[in-house]
Structure 1
Amino acid sequence: MSDSMKVLFRVRYAECDAQQVVFNSRYAEYVDLGATEFMRGVLGGFNHLIEQGFDNQVVNLNISWQGPAKFDDVIEMAIWVSKVGTCSYTLSLEMRHHLTKKAICLAEVIYVMVDAKTYKKVEINEQLKQKLLAGAPTLTVNLAGTD
């Protein structure tokens, strides 16, 4: 978690279920939030990627829960690229309680790079590969309003 970009965000009331914990489907939204901030921090955002003729599509998303998150918890999400293949890359995310560092979940999302106009699979060029692997390890995006 130390060599990765971090995003801090706060659990909102509407994201919780009848058991008063974050509803399971919301974690996919958190993964998307992390991926969006990662792309902004590393490449200048998804729009910048599209301007270069590339886009990406999710082909696999796995989430392994380790503990609950509740209303008003601040979650610290670490984000890094764990693998880059010929046409795909794997984004790994780890979510923990910001103050206690207790584990909440691990997620892995696999993206396939496609042409921005035809949506046909394309190879990830070396420059993009290096940017994805380098990530933005010193960047913390604070969406939680904490210090």
Structure 2
Amino acid sequence: MPAVWSAPVRFVECDQQGVVFNAHYLIWADETVTAWWGTVGVPHGVLDAWGVEYLVKATALDWSSSARYGDTVAVDAELTKLGRTSLTLLLTVRVGERVCCTVQTTYVATADGRPVPWPDEVRARVSAG
């Protein structure tokens, strides 16, 4: 699967040991999710037009190696589950071929703060993507 988001590791993202501080992996995951929606044909703002927002229900990170200042990270997104009101993405953070971290996040479709089914158009685009 091709990377859907990539960036060089900035100095500000690292701790004194020169490795990326853990919270930045979630920022990168969020950047990737925004890009992923666009790659599946649901660009920014379309969900709002359909009266739906998505919120994080749960997220889990699993580190296997560190990204460091001067590296370029690439993050892949893979849909692992599409439910009636939720979807789960697996985001893999890499430096080259080396996996640094995986982030599994479940999102819930909402309207007026309550879970709602994904619109049929969203389901179709996400499934095809």
Q: TM-score, normalised by structure 1?
A: 0.81
1:125 Cα deviation (Å)? Answer: 3.3
* Structure 2 gap segments, 5+ residues each: none
1:14 Cα deviation (Å)? Answer: 0.1
In structure 2, distance between residues paired with 1:67 and 1:6: 20
The residue aligned with 2:4 is: 6
Q: Where do residues 63-78 of structure 1 align in structure 2 (5 Å cutoff)?
A: 63-78=61-76
In structure 1, distance between residues paired with 2:88 and 2:7: 22
1:127 Cα deviation (Å)? Answer: 2.8
Q: TM-score, normalised by structure 2?
A: 0.92
In structure 1, distance between residues paired with 2:3 and 2:39: 8
> Aligned to 1:19, which of 17, 20, 30?
17
> Aligned to 2:109, which of 110, 113, 136?
113
The residue aligned with 2:125 is: 131
> Aligned to 2:98, which of 99, 102, 110?
102
Report the identity percentage: 26
The residue aligned with 1:40 is: 38
Please identify, of 13-22 and 38-47, the stretch whose mean Cα deviation from structure 2 is larger.
38-47
The residue aligned with 1:140 is: none
In structure 1, distance between residues paired with 2:124 and 2:91: 19
* Structure 1 gap segments, 5+ residues each: 136-147
User: Do the aligned partners of 2:4 and 2:35 also contact (CA within 8 Å) in 1?
Assistant: no
In structure 2, distance between residues paired with 1:50 and 1:126: 15
> Aligned to 2:88, which of 83, 87, 90?
90
Q: Where do residues 53-68 of structure 1 align in structure 2 (5 Å cutoff)?
A: 53-68=51-66
1:5 Cα deviation (Å)? Answer: 5.0
Question: Letter of the aligned partner of 2:9 in structure 1?
Answer: V
- How many residue pairs end up in the alignment? 129
| 1:52 and 2:62 are equivalent in the alignment | no
